[in-house]
Structure 1
Amino acid sequence: MDGYLGIVVIVVVVALVAAGGLFLLFKPGGKTAPPVEPPETLPLPEEKEKRPAAAPEDEQGATTTVPPPAPAVEVKPEPVVEVPPPSAGRMVRLRSRLARSQSSFGRGLLELLSRDRLDDEVWEEIEESLITADVGVAPTQAMVEELRTKVKVLGSRTPVEARKLLREQLLAQINPDLDRTLHVAKHGERPAVVLVVGVNGTGKTTTTGKLARSLVGDGKKVVLGAADTFRAAAAEQLQTWGDRVGAEVVRGPEGGDPASVAFEATAKGMDDKVDVVIVDTAGRLHTKTGLMDELGKVKRVIEKKATVDEVLLVLDATTGQNGMRQAQVFAEVVNITGIALTKLDGTAKGGIVISVQRELGVPVKLVGLGEGPDDLAPFDPEVFVDALLGDE
């Protein structure tokens, strides 16, 4: 009995001790029980955000962590370097485009000249046709006077003879004896330098790119200088042309010094031992003085390194007499050696070839006959006149 009472006393004491512990634990101001650690460490907040919303489970049912996908890296494809066709024979291949735009002018003249009776009224029509085609007043008067003299000598004329007369006169005015060679031969270790000038909007930068393409097609190595720093689009456009044919393009900061870019392009051409450096210049015409200073500086800076072999003036054939006025301003500013006439296939006023040569005293060396990359061709007077007059 005594032993039983002892056990009961022990149980009561243990119960009282346990109850006292719980009272201390949960009374106000008491210490909070430490949190129970889960079997695995919880992720930090930032890690939790990166974890996918629903992780897959493995075969045992345990959740597995899927690493986030690696960020995509944009890889720019290398530009495909094209092999352009050579410049020789281009104008012959493009003759049909020229004929489509010029045939009404040439055939109209032939129809007038083939009439049985050529009175003053007909000669006035011939003169008007030539002036309308932008041949210019002085060249038109010279042609009409010469034609009247020869018609009197011939008397009656067949259509073939009329065509021959007109062809002779047009060729004489265009002057096939002018040197239309593009001077792009190296000077020993130094490259030839071509300066391209003209008003923005005439196709100046495009012509620069097409010229580079044409020279690469002729087997020459080319460096391009984007010295039109006042138009960001000009440098980007030139870069695209250069990338297509593997030509290095030297650029400067937007609004930077054009002469500095021209100098660096020339230096790059010399270092790389290229054949030709082509420098595209700005085409602003705010004031003649500003233009003169800028182009003069570009030319002087280039000549510290090399010789400027060509200064090509780019003109838009569709602008007619407006283009002539622009040409005269540039001719006063810089010593032009040749003309590149763009969009000749887009106008029936092919007579501008005659008037611009007469006004500036320099030959048309290149013509643009379409929008394609290989539509810039060396100018051939005979092919041009035959396109004007159509087939015999």
Structure 2
Amino acid sequence: MTLSIFYQFFLLGCTSFGGPAAHLGFFKKHFVDNLGWLSNERYAAMISLSQILPGPGSSQVGFAIGLQRAGILGGIAAFLGFTLPSFLIMLLLAMTASQLESSLLGVISGLKLFAVVIVADAVLTMAKSFCKTIPLKLVAFVSTMVLLLLPTLYAQLLVLAAAASVACVYRFSPIPAHSTNTTNNRVNLPVLSVFSLLFIITFFGLPNELFAQFYQAGALVFGGGHVVLPLLQNTVPELDQDSFLTAYAAAQAVPGPMFSIATYLGASIASEHIWLFALIATVAIFLPGLLLMWAFHNNWQSLSTLPRFASVTCALNAAVVGLLAAALYSPIWQSAVFSITHMVIVTGGFVVFKYLKPPIWMMLLLFSIVGVLL
């Protein structure tokens, strides 16, 4: 089971360009629609939980999928599979300091266009599932507008908090009941204690300062990879501005989670044992978010069966649709579509993907070829 989970996530880790929103689209298409590992409702609950926890959202959702599928070993297998490709690529880039070839840049350009298609499909299908009533459609619409006008971390948190607050007063139509595991529905206190203890002692000195710096960044950042850059600049003073910008550009260009920027930065700090420094930085920045997801995973699932909490879940799911819709425009559309030709390609690709339903590998190959030709 764990090998199968690792293999499925490794494939996605090799091909998932476009950032967290695109990754969530890939996950939904692969694990919900194609493999049927979990329901739309359960998947949306995982996204909702990842949105209110610090850490890398798509990696946390992937970890939760593996966790539900095969326990903690499944969660670890999912994380390793999804992260390993970007870790190896970023380590290689840091060690060689080489520039990407023009042909590879073309492939990446094409895959970014495919990311637009994937996220658009995810927004549409999730809107159909979670915005069936007028109040929920209004929540999604307002969330989208707010985040388009105020594309900041604080606006995102405000939208989620507002949606949950309204749901406590106004009872939204609950999501249809789905099976939950109620045998262990409490917060995993030992795991939460490990997270808290590690976080506290990072401020009082650890044998490894590198681990402390990146653990603090992973524990404090909300909003994913785009937000982690300024936080890392404050917590890792050893690196200059050029190193950070180079690492950020590399993280944008490779598949997988943007938190793999830690791999590049860890390797850049090292004077020797480069791979070890890269590994420590990578584990440290991901660990807080994964521990929190593990701690609250079962609790969130069981709470969703309570009437008032089900109402909150409905509102949060609708708000998540708004978050994805806003992310579809910025940064995904803005970072991929620069001409009328790109718009035509995205539109045609969406029609093909939506109605002909070809396998993802075929679409990846098609968009890669298109990117090289362009």
On whether the aligned pair clears a TM of 0.5, the verdict is no
Higher Cα radius of gyration: 1
- Quick one: higher RCO (CA 8 Å, sep 6+), 1 or 2? 2
Q: From the two aligned structures, give the one with the greater helix fraction.
A: 2
Q: TM-score range by the shorter chain?
A: under 0.3
| Greater strand proportion | 1
TM norm structure 1 = 0.20
